[in-house]
């Protein structure tokens, strides 16, 4: 097991490095960026002013130099050995680009000796490996990215933890009952509903809930006065509001207010998860129920409840572990579509805003942390396999 863990940790480190390098390169060659708005102001901005703005975002540096500064915070200037500067005249970027009329190219290079002045350490990241993700450039300019991530994390975890618990409580019994009663009316109904639920996109259910419980709630209440009007987004209201005739006016920030704002996004995530997980568990249970050891247990006269819970379910849950451990990255990454539809101020919405507004420091930090959590979750899943199934051994 020790040799296996060492090998996996090495593979995980390599994967995280390759992903970070690829994504950093991809963001740098992609169209757009913090200077996109300047393209419409070319006649009103001088090349010197544009150069200063590019230096502000470190876009005057070559992308390999930007990557190493983003990763480990190096270089910050010339290499100093025994009080002597080395490689001080090595160009690491282009400060002032030549115009097409001047033949293109670079008029003024950035040298290592100039980096402490043009890019002081106080403005630059110490490197993501040291927990410094830099500063936001657009979404909340000047604010540390890590502060933004941590401020949105709990909002996302509220959605993910509640939807995870509800999904497990509903999906596991449904999948087991449907498999045990295969070809029954319940099985046909459940399979059809689960297939529809897993086929429809997440935003469809989000818009359907908003349409039903917010936009058209007033008309529905004319027929059914008890029908509630739910808030369509955010985590809490800014002023008191009415939900239904049988409830008092809801005050902003109250526990009831927070619960009502959670209701629709959690329901959407739960529906999507239950539809997929229950079908997966049903297929796994059907495969296990056909095994010889299950037939033997029944032939020995064991109670059906023991056959299902002790012999079949434990083995059927082994492949289900993969789904569960991959929920760990979602505690950080959030549900981008759901949070966007309901304007939920979580990690998914932050990532959407960062991509939409070209705030690459936030987007890269988001991808980097999500990658680490994903590879860690796969390792945890492999370890749990050996715990659940003693036949699995890693050497």
Please report, for the chain, the start and end positions of each structural domain, with discontinuous segments joined by +: 42-132, 147-388
Contact 337, 203 (CB under 8 A): yes
Most confident of 86-100, 135-149, 276-290: 276-290
Comparing 100 with 349, the larger pLDDT belongs to 349
User: pLDDT digit string (tens) for 110-161?
Assistant: 888 888 877 766 556 788 988 888 888 888 888 899 999 999 999 999 999 9
Tokens 């109250």 — which residue?
254
User: pLDDT digit string (tens) for 335-350?
Assistant: 899 999 999 999 999 9
The answer to which of 166-170, 235-239, 256-260 has the lowest mean pLDDT is 235-239
Nearest to 191 by CA among 282, 267, 290, 289: 282
For the beta carbon of residue 124, count every other beta carbon within 10 angstroms.
20
Q: Residue 309: what pLDDT?
A: 86
- Whether the pLDDT of residue 34 is over 70: the answer is no
> Tokens standing for 224?
């059914």
- Backbone phi, psi, residue 106, to 5°: -125, 130
- Whether the pLDDT of residue 32 is over 70: the answer is no
- Whether the pLDDT of residue 194 is over 90: the answer is yes
Per CATH, the homologous superfamily of domain 147-388 is MetI-like (1.10.3720.10)
Comparing 101 with 98, the larger pLDDT belongs to 98
């Amino acid at each position: 097991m020790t040799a296996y863990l060492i090998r996996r940790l090495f593979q995980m480190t390599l994967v995280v490095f390759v992903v970070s390098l690829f994504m950093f390169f991809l963001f740098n060659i992609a169209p757009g960026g913090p200077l996109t708005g300047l393209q419409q102001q070319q006649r009103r901005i001088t090349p010197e002013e544009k150069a200063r703005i590019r230096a502000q975002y470190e876009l005057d540096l070559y992308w390999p130099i930007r990557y190493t500064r983003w990763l480990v915070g190096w270089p910050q200037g010339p290499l100093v050995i025994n009080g002597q500067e080395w490689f001080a005249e090595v160009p690491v970027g282009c400060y002032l680009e030549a115009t097409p009329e001047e033949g293109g190219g670079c008029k003024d290079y950035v040298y290592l000796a100039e980096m402490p002045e043009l890019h002081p350490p106080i403005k630059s990241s110490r490197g993501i490996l040291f927990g410094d993700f830099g500063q936001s450039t657009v979404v909340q300019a000047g604010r540390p990215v890590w502060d933004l991530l941590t401020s949105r994390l709990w909002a996302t975890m509220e959605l993910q933890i509640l939807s995870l618990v509800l999904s497990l409580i509903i999906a596991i019994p449904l999948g087991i009952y449907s498999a045990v009663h295969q070809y029954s009316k319940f099985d046909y109904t459940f399979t059809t509903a689960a297939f529809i639920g897993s086929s429809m996109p997440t935003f469809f259910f989000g818009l359907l809930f908003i349409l039903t419980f917010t936009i058209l709630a007033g008309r529905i209440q004319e027929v059914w006065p008890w029908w509630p009007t739910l808030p369509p987004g955010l985590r809490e209201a800014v002023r008191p509001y009415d939900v239904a005739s049988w409830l008092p006016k809801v005050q902003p920030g109250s526990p009831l207010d927070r619960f009502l704002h959670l209701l629709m996004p959690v329901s959407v995530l739960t529906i999507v998860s239950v539809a997929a997980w229950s079908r997966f568990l049903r297929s796994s249970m059907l495969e296990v129920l056909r095994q010889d050891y299950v037939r033997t247990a029944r032939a020995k006269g064991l109670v059906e409840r023991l056959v299902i819970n002790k012999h079949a379910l434990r083995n059927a849950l082994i492949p289900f572990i993969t789904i569960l451990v991959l929920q760990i990255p979602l505690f950080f990454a959030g549900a981008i579509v759901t949070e966007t539809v309901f304007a939920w101020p979580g990690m998914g919405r932050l990532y959407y805003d960062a991509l939409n507004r070209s705030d690459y420091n936030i987007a890269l930090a988001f991808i980097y942390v999500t990658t680490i959590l994903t590879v860690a979750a796969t390792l945890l899943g492999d370890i749990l396999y050996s715990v659940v199934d003693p036949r699995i051994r890693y050497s």
